Each structure stands twice: as C-alpha cells, then as structure tokens.
Amino acid sequence: MSKIAPQPGIMDIAVYQGGQSKLEGVTDVIKLSSNENPYGPSEAAVEALRKSAYGLHRYPSTDHKELRDAIAARHGLDPDRIICGVGSDEILSFLCYAYAGVGDEVIHTEHGFAMYRISALAAGATPVEVPEKDRTVDVDAILAACTKKTKLVFIANPANPTGTFLTGDEVLRLAEKLPKHVLLVLDGAYAEFVDGFDGGAALVEARTNVVMTRTFSKLYGLGGLRVGWGYGPKDIIDVLNRIRGPFNLSGPALVAAEAAIKDVDFANKCAFDNARLRAWITKALNDLGVATDTSYANFVLARFGSAEEANACDAHLKSQGLIVRKTAGYKLPEGLRITVGDESACRRVVHAIAQFLEGRT
C-alpha cells in the first residue's frame, strides 16, 4: 500500500451519489430524482450554445463580465459583487477553502445538502451538524452550536430535500445574532421557485456577514453545463476570486447561461407551471394519506409510515419506470423526494403511488 496519504478528513468523505437516471431493462423511464426542469433549457439558451461551437478553439472569459452583468440586470444587483462558478457547489467550496481550515468548524443542519459536509472536510475543517425542527432550519439550534471555532454556517432556503422555507424574519435574526467572526451562507438553489423571494440579496446588501449562492441548474434547466453564482460583500468576493481558477467556466456555459437569464418569459412560465403542479401533487398525495410539508421548491418530500414502506414504494415506482430519490442519506429514511415533472409525469407518479397503497391494504 502506498505511503502517500491524503490530508486528514478526506477519507471521511462519502462519495456523493447523484439521482439515479436509468433502470435495467426499462426504456420508458421518467426521471424524477434530481430536481431538473422537465421542460429543459430555453430555446434561446440552446441557440446560444449551438453558436458557441464555432468558438471552441478560444479560451473563455476569465472575468465572466457579460454573465455577471446579465445576472445583475435581472436581479438589480451590483455586478462587481457577483462571482460565477461551476455550479453553486464550487462557490460553496471556495467559501470553505477561503474561510475554514484545520481547527475550524462549519455548521450545517441535519437534513442539509450533502456538499456542506463534503466541502468542509475537503478544506480540513470540522463539519458540525445541528438538529432541525419539524424538518425546518432551527435558528436557535444553530446559535447554540456556535463556538469560537465556528467560521461558516450553511443553510439552504428553500431547503433540500425537505422543501421547507425559513421566513425572512428568522434569517435576519440568525444573521444578527451570529458571532461577529461567523459568515452566514444562504444557498438559494431553489430561490426562483418562491414567488417574490430575492434569495437573501437585500440581506447581503445590508450586512457584512452574509453571502448567497444561486444556480442555473434548476429553473433554467442548465444542470448539464454546471453554472452557478454567488453574491456577497465586495471584500469577500475579492477573496473568492483569488482562489477561483481563471477558466473555471467554459465559453459555451457562459453564453448559454447569459441567454437563459435574459429569457424571462420562459423562466416565468416554468416557475408558474411548477407552482401549479406542485400544489396538485401535494394535494393528491395528502388525499392518499401520504404526509408532505409545504414545499417551496420544485420537488415534494413524500413521507411514509416507515422506512420499510418508503423502500417498498420506491421499488414499486421503479417497476413502473419511475425514478424518485430515497432520502435515507439525508436522515429521512421514511421519505421519497419527488421532482415536480410535467403534468403527465406528475399524474403518472401519483397513480403509481395510489396503486402501491391499494396493494398494501
């Protein structure tokens, strides 16, 4: 065995498992496991990507100015306080590399996104898990867990995989009461699915201890290109840019994302359809006796009576060509996270769950 050893903490990282996309021997598969936009990207983004092929021999922009300007124009932000990354995941990693290390602690909640723990360990820091309250971020639990070693607090709002939402007053209370040396990171991967929500932008502008991240992978349907962005105090963004690779985003990804965020009509239609079908699938599941929390994202967490029942339902769905996401890895073994697909997919998955429940009575 090699005597060349990785840094402490690396071997404590479990390899991240993405949502399953294929079923052995099944061709008519509906994938509802990765919270993807069922309508795909906008035609404007596809056309921009197609045209970019003629410039594949050129290096991409290093400052991402055109995309940052487009994001700023869409959301009323300062482009100089925006950083772009390979998905919002990369921005989360930058924050850990820049502000946490050996001997430091990074707080995340018990059902939080797996990358918070992974990024903390990769930076040599210690991840600290705090409990949630009814599958919702508990501000008091986070504050109680803060120590002199705490450097970062990660929360997703809306949360994944629960879909729950922390009100603006509670987020503000958290930001105000955190120790002065702690940075609050608001992961807004699903922010576009909350009507009128700015993802925390106003809070970022009002304070010096808050950063928010967003992604093009969900509403904008560009998961395959991996584009995300962050917004924060100018001095923090300057620090993150010092460790960002100069060509971290490809030219095609940059132009497709720029076109996507400018296609407001398409994004609005996707958000509208998601809200309509999310409400429908939630009511349909509740009518079947399957518990759900109110979801503010593009998925619903269906909670069954036990882990055994959830696993059996998952197996039945797979037999019908339907792939959802088991959430045992998020300490919710009784749950199945179901992406809100198009209308046909939503009706098909509810019908299959109804069949499963009827078969168990």
CATH of the domain at 120: 3.40.640.10
Q: Does residue 302 sit in helix, strand or coil?
A: strand
Is residue 166 included in any domain, yes or no? yes
Would you tell me how many other CB atoms lie within 10 Å of the CB of residue 241? Answer: 16
Strand partners, 155: 186
Say if residue 82 is in the same domain as residue 139: yes
What are φ and ψ of residue 152, in 5° steps? -135, 145
Is residue 258 included in any domain, yes or no? yes
pLDDT over 90 (residue 13)? no
Say if residue 170 is in the same domain as residue 316: no
Helix, strand, coil content of the chain in percent (nearest 5): 45, 15, 40
Whichever domain contains 352, its CATH number is 3.90.1150.10
- The sign of the torsion formed by the CA atoms of 90, 275, 256, 46 equals positive
On the CB side of 4, CA atoms within 13 Å amount to: 1
pTM for the full predicted model: 0.92
Quote the pLDDT of residue 330: 94
Is residue 8 included in any domain, yes or no? no
> What is the C-alpha to C-alpha distance for residues 95 and 345, in angstroms, rounded to an integer?
37
Is residue 91 included in any domain, yes or no? yes
Domain boundary among 234, 262, 290: 262
Say if residue 241 is in the same domain as residue 349: no
User: pLDDT tens across 303-327, in order?
Assistant: 999 999 999 999 999 999 999 999 9
> What is the C-alpha to C-alpha distance for residues 356 and 361, in angstroms, rounded to an integer?
9
User: pLDDT tens across 17-65, in order?
Assistant: 666 667 776 677 899 999 999 999 999 999 999 999 999 999 999 999 9
Domain boundary among 262, 280, 297: 262
Say if residue 194 is in the same domain as residue 310: no
72, 79 Cβ separation under 8 angstroms: yes
Is residue 11 included in any domain, yes or no? no
Say if residue 184 is in the same domain as residue 288: no
Say if residue 56 is in the same domain as residue 28: no
For residues 94-115, give the mean pLDDT. Answer: 96
Quote the pLDDT of residue 11: 78
pLDDT band at 1 (very low <50, low <70, confident <90, very high): low
Domain boundary among 233, 262, 291: 262
Type of residue numbered 149 = K
Say if residue 332 is in the same domain as residue 271: yes
Is residue 27 included in any domain, yes or no? yes
Quote the pLDDT of residue 3: 81
In the chain, the number of structural domains is 2
User: pLDDT tens across 200-225, in order?
Assistant: 999 999 999 999 999 999 999 999 99
Closest CA to 160 of 232, 221, 217: 217
Say if residue 200 is in the same domain as residue 236: yes
Is residue 96 included in any domain, yes or no? yes
> If you ran DSSP here, which 8-state letter would residue 160 be given?
T
Distances (CA, A) of 110 to 6, 69, 278, 329: 27, 36, 25, 10
User: pLDDT tens across 329-351, in order?
Assistant: 999 999 999 999 999 999 999 99
Say if residue 237 is in the same domain as residue 152: yes
Q: Please provide the distance, in angstroms rounded to a whole number, between the alpha carbons at the two ends of the chain.
A: 55
Quote the pLDDT of residue 7: 80
Say if residue 110 is in the same domain as residue 217: yes
Average pLDDT in the chain: 95
User: pLDDT tens across 119-143, in order?
Assistant: 999 999 999 999 999 999 999 999 9
Is residue 188 included in any domain, yes or no? yes
Domain enclosing residue 352, as ranges? 18-40+265-359
Say if residue 99 is in the same domain as residue 190: yes
Say if residue 283 is in the same domain as residue 203: no
